[in-house]
């Protein structure tokens, strides 16, 4: 998930702008004008903020009319000296603006107000001084959130990574003062594919790039990530049985009928899994011990998608992507209502082409059209580790959808040497979770957190990102 009036007030800008104003920015009126056009100055119900933020569209394909929507927040102090972090939500098909910014780690969180949805300031936003990063949220791919295409497109992992890379190159043309900044990427859920795959494209392109197209990638961090179909599914079933969510009989039946290492799903396996997926209709599988949204609320009854084709590998297509999580189980309602307000869209420079659909947190059209998804991104992780890219994985331990069990199975499958074995880490006097360090990878659990870790454990997630950016170990003793 971040100037004054341009030409007429150039002198004022040069004297009063924060440290993010580079000589290149100050000396190029066209760049200044483009940035000023994207600056958000009057967002409805926005609380006071000491930092600047921008939103708008970056074209990734002029011929097809493909444009991705972003929302960028400068760090609260000395943004020019701080790294840049890109946040991606997963799905595939879910909005990083609607989830990451508005419900998790961004400066402005959406809540229910007396007259409708409203914003409150997030005291644990990742762009604050303690974390010290500029935040860039991207709705990706086209068809998600406010992002759009004027032509029919095919959805999949490869095209999503390529378009995101093109977005970044073009975004740096609009904000060249951040081109040389240390660049990091973070995300959760299906961003366990998005983030490492985009990192791989950046890494490969950097090997042959010129100065203007080089991206200073330093590290990636993913939370409750989908990484390996076999281990994801095995971990889900084992976690559900271990947390007393399914019977012994169903557990034994799934184990007997499903071979998760096989790309094909048999009818017997499919039917057994449907019994397991009934859990998603009755409890919050994204946070086992949190309440569900009351059934009379507009977005409460998200029914299980059972339209996945039997005989295909994509077990994850059986999963419910819309996440109802958080201390307020109706967060999805508030965000959906807020981003559909015309005044909000105008303030964010969004929906300028009058997209013929309401804004939604997740797009079923994108999700059900997904046709390019490798069964595992573990080879990509190994490649990034070999290339010296910092890699952290964190996992909220009350998430039943992409549970900590799945993540541990997947990391074990990597076969990395352990450099520091399992130990507790602390936030203040309390155990924040447990951590384990491999050669080239750090794994962190977050105690009591669901799928959206920054929503459930904002203080702990802020501490994790601070230590990740500083490349330092989490505290092993109370403090």
42: tokens are: 């009057």
- Which domain range does residue 77 map to? 10-216
pLDDT given for residue 27 in this prediction: 65
pLDDT one-digit tens code per residue, 109-167: 999 889 899 999 999 999 987 768 999 999 999 999 999 999 989 899 999 999 999 99
* DSSP state, residue 424: E
Q: Is residue 89 part of a domain?
A: yes
Q: What CA–CA distance (Å, rounded) separates 397 from 394?
A: 9
pLDDT given for residue 18 in this prediction: 37
pLDDT given for residue 298 in this prediction: 57
How many Cβ atoms sit within 10 Å of the Cβ of residue 446? 28
Contact 43, 344 (CB under 8 A): yes
Element (H, E) at 153: none
Q: What confidence category does residue 264 fall into, taking pLDDT thresholds of 50, 70 and 90?
A: confident
- The mean pLDDT of the chain is 88
Contact 223, 187 (CB under 8 A): yes
Q: Is residue 48 part of a domain?
A: yes
Has 363 been annotated as catalytic? Answer: no
Contact 76, 129 (CB under 8 A): yes
**CA nearest to 316, candidates 397, 272, 374, 267:** 374
Q: What CA–CA distance (Å, rounded) separates 287 from 290?
A: 6
CATH number at residue 118: 3.40.50.1820
Average pLDDT score over residue span 14-37: 64
pLDDT one-digit tens code per residue, 388-424: 999 999 999 999 999 999 999 999 999 999 999 999 9
Q: What CA–CA distance (Å, rounded) separates 419 from 416?
A: 9
Q: Is residue 62 part of a domain?
A: yes
Q: What CA–CA distance (Å, rounded) separates 154 from 371?
A: 8
Coil vs helix vs strand at 272: helix
- Min mean pLDDT across 53-57, 70-74, 322-326 is at 322-326
CB neighbour list of residue 132: distance below 8 Å, 6 or more residues apart: 75, 77, 82, 83, 466, 469
Coil vs helix vs strand at 189: strand
Which is the catalytic residue, given 55, 147, 189, 290?
A: 189
Specify which residues 354 forms β-bridges with: none
Average pLDDT score over residue span 279-306: 71
189: tokens are: 């859920």
Contact 399, 450 (CB under 8 A): yes
More confident residue, 446 or 324: 446
pLDDT given for residue 212 in this prediction: 82
Q: Is residue 54 part of a domain?
A: yes
Q: Is residue 76 part of a domain?
A: yes
Specify which residues 73 forms β-bridges with: 53, 135
Has 399 been annotated as catalytic? Answer: yes
Q: Is residue 58 part of a domain?
A: yes
Q: Is residue 51 part of a domain?
A: yes
Average pLDDT score over residue span 360-375: 91
Q: What CA–CA distance (Å, rounded) separates 98 from 331?
A: 10
DSSP track, 339-385: HT-HHHHHHTT--TT--SS---SB-HHHHHTB----SB-HHHHHHHH
Q: What confidence category does residue 105 fall into, taking pLDDT thresholds of 50, 70 and 90?
A: very high
Coil vs helix vs strand at 70: strand
pLDDT given for residue 263 in this prediction: 81
pLDDT given for residue 13 in this prediction: 29
Query: 359 in the Ramachandran plot: left (φ > 0), alpha (ψ -120 to 50) or beta?
Result: beta
Element (H, E) at 238: helix 229-242
Has 209 been annotated as catalytic? Answer: no
Task: Please give the model's pTM, rounded to 2 decimal places.
Answer: 0.90
- The pLDDT of residue 10 is above 70: no
CB neighbour list of residue 196: distance below 8 Å, 6 or more residues apart: 220, 222, 377, 380, 381, 384
* Residues present in the chain in total: 479
pLDDT given for residue 94 in this prediction: 94
Average pLDDT score over residue span 82-93: 96
Contact 43, 119 (CB under 8 A): yes
Q: What CA–CA distance (Å, rounded) separates 424 from 73?
A: 33
Q: Is residue 450 part of a domain?
A: no
Number of compact structural domains in the chain: 1
pLDDT one-digit tens code per residue, 422-465: 999 999 999 999 999 999 999 999 999 999 999 999 999 999 99
Q: What CA–CA distance (Å, rounded) separates 169 from 148?
A: 18
**CA nearest to 201, candidates 383, 16, 1, 37:** 383
- The pLDDT of residue 23 is above 60: no
- The pLDDT of residue 382 is above 90: yes
pLDDT one-digit tens code per residue, 199-242: 999 999 999 977 789 999 999 999 999 999 999 999 999 999 99
Specify which residues 53 forms β-bridges with: 73
Number of helices (H), then strands (E), in the chain:
16, 13
Half-sphere exposure of 66 (CA within 13 A, CB side): 23
């Amino acid at each position: 998930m971040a100037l004054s009036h341009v030409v007429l007030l150039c002198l004022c800008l040069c004297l009063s702008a924060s440290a993010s104003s580079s000589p290149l920015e100050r000396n190029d009126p066209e760049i200044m004008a483009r940035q000023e056009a994207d600056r958000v100055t009057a967002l409805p119900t926005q609380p006071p903020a000491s930092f600047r933020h921008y939103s708008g569209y970056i074209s990734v394909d002029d011929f097809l009319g493909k444009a991705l929507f972003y929302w960028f927040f400068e760090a609260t102090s000395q943004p020019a000296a701080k790294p840049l972090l890109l946040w991606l939500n997963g799905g595939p098909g879910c909005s990083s603006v609607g989830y990451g910014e508005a419900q998790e780690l961004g400066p402005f969180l959406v809540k229910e107000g007396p007259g409708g949805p409203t914003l409150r300031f997030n005291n644990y936003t990742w762009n604050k001084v303690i974390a010290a990063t500029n935040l860039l949220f991207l709705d990706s791919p086209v068809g998600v959130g406010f992002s759009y295409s004027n032509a029919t497109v095919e959805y999949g992992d490869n095209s999503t990574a390529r378009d995101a890379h093109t977005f970044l190159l073009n975004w740096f043309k609009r904000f060249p003062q951040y081109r040389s900044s240390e660049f990091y990427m973070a995300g959760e859920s299906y961003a366990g594919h998005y983030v490492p795959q985009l990192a791989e494209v950046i890494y490969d392109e950097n090997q042959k790039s010129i100065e203007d197209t080089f991206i200073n990638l330093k590290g990636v961090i993913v939370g409750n990530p989908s990484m390996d179909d076999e281990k994801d599914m095995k971990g889900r079933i084992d976690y559900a049985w271990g947390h007393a969510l399914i019977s012994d009989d169903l557990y034994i039946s799934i184990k007997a009928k499903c071979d998760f290492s096989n790309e094909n799903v048999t009818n017997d396996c499919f039917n057994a899994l449907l019994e397991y997926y009934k859990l998603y209709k009755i409890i919050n599988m994204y946070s086992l011990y949190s309440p569900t949204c009351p059934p009379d609320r507009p977005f409460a009854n998200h029914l299980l998608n059972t339209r996945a084709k039997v005989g295909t590998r994509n077990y994850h297509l059986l999963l419910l992507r819309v996440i109802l999580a958080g201390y307020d189980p109706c967060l999805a309602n508030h965000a959906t209502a807020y981003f559909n307000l015309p005044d909000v869209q105008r303030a964010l420079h969004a929906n300028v082409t009058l997209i013929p659909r309401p804004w939604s947190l997740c797009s079923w059209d994108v999700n059900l059209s997904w046709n390019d998804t490798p069964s595992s991104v573990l080879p990509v992780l190994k490649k990034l580790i070999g290339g010296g890219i910092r890699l952290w994985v964190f996992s909220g331990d009350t998430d039943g959808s992409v549970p900590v069990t799945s993540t541990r199975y997947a990391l074990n499958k990597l076969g990395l040497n352990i450099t520091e074995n399992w130990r507790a880490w602390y936030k203040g006097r309390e155990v924040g979770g447990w951590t384990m360090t491999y050669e080239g990878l750090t794994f962190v659990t977050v105690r009591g957190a669901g799928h959206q870790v920054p929503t459930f454990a904002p203080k702990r997630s802020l501490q994790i990102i601070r230590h990740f950016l500083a490349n330092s170990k989490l505290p092993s003793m109370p403090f």
